Amino acid sequence: MTPTPVTLERGAVPETARADWQTDQEVRWCPGCGDYSILAAMQFALPDMGVRREDVVVVGGIGCAARFPYYVNSYGLHGIHGRAPAIATGIALANPELSVFVVGGDGDLLSIGGNHLLHALRRNVNLTILLFNNRIYGLTKGQFSPTSEQGKVTKSTPRGSEDAPLHPLSVALGADATFVARTHDMDRQHMMEVFTRAHAHPGAAFVEVLQNCNVFNDGAYEAITARASREDMLIPLAQGEPIRFGPEGSKGVVLDPTKGAVVVDVADVGVDALLVHDESRGDPGIAFALSRLAPNPTEPTPMGVFRAVERPVYGTANPVAVTPPGREALSGLLHSGTTWTVD
Distance from C-alpha of 189 to C-alpha of 45, rounded to nearest angstrom: 9
3-state SS record for 270-335: CHHHCCECCCCCCCCHHHHHHHCCCCCCCCCEEEEEEEECCCCCCCCCCCCCCCCCCHHHHHHHHC
Candidates 139, 77, 79; CA nearest to 107 is: 139
List residues bridging with 132 in a β-sheet.
105, 209
Distance from C-alpha of 328 to C-alpha of 241, rounded to nearest angstrom: 61
What is the full DSSP assignment across 187-225? -HHHHHHHHHHHHHSSS-EEEEEE--BTTTBTTTTHHHH
pLDDT of residue 100: 98
User: Do residues 64 and 109 touch, judged by C-beta distance below 8 A?
Assistant: no
Expressed in angstroms, the distance from the first to the final Cα of the chain is 60
Candidates 62, 102, 303; CA nearest to 205 is: 102
Is pTM beyond 0.75? Reply is: yes
pLDDT of residue 329: 72
Candidates 164, 139, 146; CA nearest to 109 is: 146
pLDDT of residue 233: 98
pLDDT of residue 4: 45
pLDDT of residue 326: 66
**Cα–chain-centroid distance for residue 333?**
40
pLDDT of residue 5: 44
pLDDT of residue 331: 75
Distance from C-alpha of 128 to C-alpha of 164, rounded to nearest angstrom: 27
> Which H helix or E strand runs over 100?
strand 99-105
Taking the chain (343 residues) in runs of 10, the rounded mean pLDDT of each run is 46 89 95 96 96 96 92 94 94 96 95 93 98 91 88 91 93 98 98 98 98 94 95 98 97 96 98 98 97 94 98 84 64 74 66
Pick the CATH number of 18-234+299-316 from 2.102.10.10, 1.20.120.420, 3.40.50.970, 3.90.1170.40: 3.40.50.970
pLDDT of residue 61: 92
What is the full DSSP assignment across 77-89? EE--TT-HHHHHH
Dihedral sign of CA atoms 155, 115, 103, 178 in order: positive
Could you tell me which residues come within 8 angstroms of residue 119 by beta carbon, excluding any fewer than 6 positions away?
A: 85, 89
3-state SS record for 132-197: EECCCECCCCCECCCCCCCCCCCCCCCCCCCCCCCCHHHHHHHCCCCEEEEEECCCHHHHHHHHHH
Distance from C-alpha of 257 to C-alpha of 161, rounded to nearest angstrom: 32
